[in-house]
Structure 1
Amino acid sequence: MKRFDSINMIPFIDIMLVLLAIVLTTASFVSSRQIEIDLPVAESAVAASNQQGVELSLTHPSGLYFNHDSINTQELESRLSELDKTTPIVFRVDREASFDRFVAVVDQLKQQQLASLSILTSDAL
């Protein structure tokens, strides 16, 4: 009987490379942590700038998010009070969201004197 003094690692490395290729190709299809919002269409939509700021999202029927964190109205007020007055704010609102909620959030922004507000829409194509 022949004794084995070494192990051939090449088949093992080949299998690991194939698994790595599978993981890397499927990882690109995993969705990012994005809140699903059906944006309203605007004829005069302008491309959004890439400024660092705060993202507010209002979903249907009643979800409110501050930088992807679900919050309520009281938490929104406390987080807005901590912001600098020149902080850019991007507001994403679902087309089916309540207009009353939209007005309430904009009112809180005005109370905190946060005037650098952009409301995201999708362009009409």
Structure 2
Amino acid sequence: MDDKPFETMNVIPFVDIMLVLLTIVLVTSSFIVSGRIPVNLPEASKNIAQADTASVIELGQSGAIYFNGESVTLEGLKANLQPLGQETSFVIRADRDVALQHFIDVVDLLKQMSFQKVAVQTKNRT
């Protein structure tokens, strides 16, 4: 047998592995969803995942309403919802300190317009 001493190490396979791992990290990090409007979410025992295709309605601490990142009034929200189909899903992100009446007004509007797929986003209780 002809045993040669181990003089060099081929690093190309290691570079390939690192590039694959980097690609995986970059792709999965793009799925992390963070809201554009600063909302201090209420806590719940179980966090429900947000659907990727859901329209987002956010309620700020002062009661300001945002539809997909744009500030609207309750009447403006109704106008934005009218062209949407009944199968549209919504995620409501309400600040934990928002007045309950503001939240109920938005939910009542969705109910009046016969939208059935509505979820409330929370954060996990620690």
**Structure 1 runs of 4+ with >3 Å offset:** none
1:81 equivalent in structure 2: 82
Q: Structure 1, unaligned stretches of length 5 or more? A: 1-31
- What is the CA distance between 1:61 and its match in structure 2? 1.0
Aligned-residue CA RMSD in angstroms?
1.4
Aligned pairs, number: 93
What's the secondary structure of 1:100's corresponding residue?
A: helix
Q: Which amino acid aligns with 1:72?
A: T
What's the secondary structure of 1:57's corresponding residue?
A: strand
CA distance in 1, matches of 2:78, 2:51: 25
Q: Does 1:47 align with 2:72?
A: no
Deviations 1:40-71 (A, max 9, x none): 00012233332x12100001112100000000
CA distance in 2, matches of 1:88, 1:44: 20
Q: Which amino acid aligns with 2:89?
A: P
Distance 1:116 1:71, change over 3 A: same
Sequence identity (%): 29
What's the secondary structure of 1:35's corresponding residue?
A: coil
